[in-house]
Chains A and B, each alone.
Chain A
Amino acid sequence: MSTVTTAPPELNAGRDAGLRARSAARAAITIAAALMIYEAVARLEIFTPSLMPTLPKIGATLVRTLLDGSMILHAAGTLGRVLLGMALAAAIGLPVGILMGRYKAVENFFVPLVSAFMPIPSLAWVPVFILWFGLGNTVAILIVLYAAFFPMVLNVWSGVRAVNPLWLRAADAMGANERALFLKVIMPGASPFIIAGLRQAFLRAWIAVIGAEFLAASDWGLGWVIFDSKEFLNADVMIASLTVIGAIGFVFERVVFGSLEKYTVQRWGMVQAAKV
């Protein structure tokens, strides 16, 4: 299942260390070479320098915006929107998904709707939402909600259905009431799927929020900075913001969801079921 995040099993351990050192060296060389090529193209001024700034200039812009706090405020604005939208998506998606997994009638009602609305890219709604809710935070948060809701619901639903019926019957036989059944069996059982859902929801939300900020411009947000810099041809600000966007996305994917998984799913020994 895990086609992307984990590296395939390497060769035997003895050769591994040497190979890894060489790979690291080569990786460093590649990145250095890529940066140098960029720098050379920028210096040759094939494009106007304002469109393709040199690396020192981008670095200086990044440091300047980080130090004067504006970049941090933009990042905080974007992150706040994402987290709020994700929290709403989880608050709605979790109960809906659980009910879908437990009751056939709920499933019959929601499955057609979810399969019809999920393939609509969330960004298609941005102009519609702007008309309805005006420019600003509401649109961005709702777009995040839209983007994050469907992966949440589908994963929670599959997770609840994937709980081994044997466990349910065993817990039942040992006298578990509905509450205990839910908290001790269904939730832990479905947790790998729920975490996979959160992860996938974040990936989509992170894309959606940038797109939403482009158009529903408020005054803070990484997407807004990029879009706004386009008007003034500030490519250095754009690339600096891109770096920050990439860094935050990377941190969330690896650190936040990685540790979330470690402390819940792996601790409960559910990792074979998840294998995300």
Chain B
Amino acid sequence: MSETIADAGALATANGTRVQEPRWRVIARTAFPFAVVLGLWEITARLQIFPPRLFPSLLDVGATFIRLTEAGILPRHAAETAARLIAGFLLAALLGVVIGMLMGRWRRAEDVFLPLVSILAPIPGIAWAPLFLLWFGAGNRPAICLVIFVSAFPIILNTWSGVKAVKEIWLRAAQAMGADDRRLFLKVIVPGALPYILTGLRLGLAQAWRTLVGVEMVVAVPWGLGWMIFGAYQFLNTDVMLSGVAVIAMLGLALEKLVFQRLEQFTVQRWGMMT
């Protein structure tokens, strides 16, 4: 999918084409733009162009961040969001890989699922949130259902194309060498489709993450970063909201660095492909 082009670009710099540069320079170079942006923020806040309640200084945000972390409020919100993400994503992965494999192997399954998937996939997941809220009640259930729903599509579609991309000739060769169905599946189809499946999982997780934060604002969950930001908005606690956004940024960055880029590097190295 087109998403990969952007990620490939990001990867190229993450790997660092300029390895010979001393470490402190790399750090300084990376820190500089943040210093500029944060500096501009601080100046704007200090000049009080906007009311400080709406545009707090970074020191206030930092203090709130530390206070909320020490009180255990931020970690709890973050943990619940992460738990929802992981639970929903794992179920979606299971469901998506199984359906995708079936679609790739049996034409009948393909004919049944493909029309449904192609009709439902273009609807943004978040648009279902109010409907899911009506159907499943408030709380965790609609949130997790929506995460499953949203991340299953890229996983299904990529698994399906991966299984279809396994070359006919590999299958025939394995069969000719006496592979039974089990072996054919484990030794030929799964490894052949794996790069696509991994791409699908990556896209699905990214999709789930982007949707989950929004969903938490709409369906009333007791804990969760999206809900925290939305709750703070009602009391004009901008410092709390920005602390929430900061935690979201950290989680997002951790996902990006620890999961997506690892997966991508793994597939690129192992199979030499940019998918």
Contact residues of A with B, CB < 8 Å?
A: 1-5, 7-8, 19, 22-23, 26-28, 30-31, 34, 47, 51-52, 107-113, 115-128, 130-132, 150-151, 154-155, 157-158, 161, 193, 196-197, 199-200, 204, 206-207, 210-211, 214-215, 222-223, 226-227, 229-230, 233, 235, 238-239, 241-242, 245-246, 249-250, 253, 276
Contacts and interface: CB of A to CB of B under 8 A. Distances in A.
Given A154-B6, A155-B9, A211-B126, A120 B108 contact: no
A102 to B, nearest CB: 14
B151 to A, nearest CB: 13
Contact of A276 (B2, B110, B211, B226): B2
A220 to B, nearest CB: 16
B256 interface: yes
Where chain A touches its partner, the secondary structure class is helix
B270 interface: no
A23 B103 CA distance: 13
A206 B126 CA distance: 10
Interface residues of B, number: 86
Contact of A4 (B123, B135, B154): B154
A28 B158 CA distance: 23
Contacts of B238: 128, 131
Where chain B touches its partner, the secondary structure class is helix
Given A119-B249, A155-B9, A8 B213 contact: no
Nearest to A246: B123
Interface of B: 1-10, 12-14, 29-34, 36-37, 50, 54-55, 107-108, 110-116, 119-120, 122-131, 133-135, 154, 157-158, 161-162, 164-165, 196, 199-200, 209-214, 217-218, 225-226, 229-230, 232-233, 236, 238, 241-242, 244-245, 248-249, 252-253, 255-256, 274-275
Contacts of A8: 161, 164-165
B2 A3 contact: no
Contacts of A199: 2
Contacts of A249: 122-124
A241 to B, nearest CB: 8
Contacts of B241: 127-128, 131
B204 to A, nearest CB: 12
A119 B9 CA distance: 15
B122 A207 contact: no
B154 A123 contact: no
B119 A242 contact: no
B10 A115 contact: yes
17 contacts: A3-B200, A4-B158, A26-B111, A34-B116, A124-B244, A127-B241, A128-B233, A132-B55, A158-B8, A204-B210, A207-B211, A210-B127, A215-B218, A242-B127, A242-B128, A245-B124, A246-B123
Nearest to A19: B107
Given A121-B214, A131-B233, A154-B10, A207 B124 contact: yes
A246 B135 contact: no
Contacts of B226: 123-124
Given A27-B114, A230-B133, A123 B217 contact: yes
Nearest to B200: A3
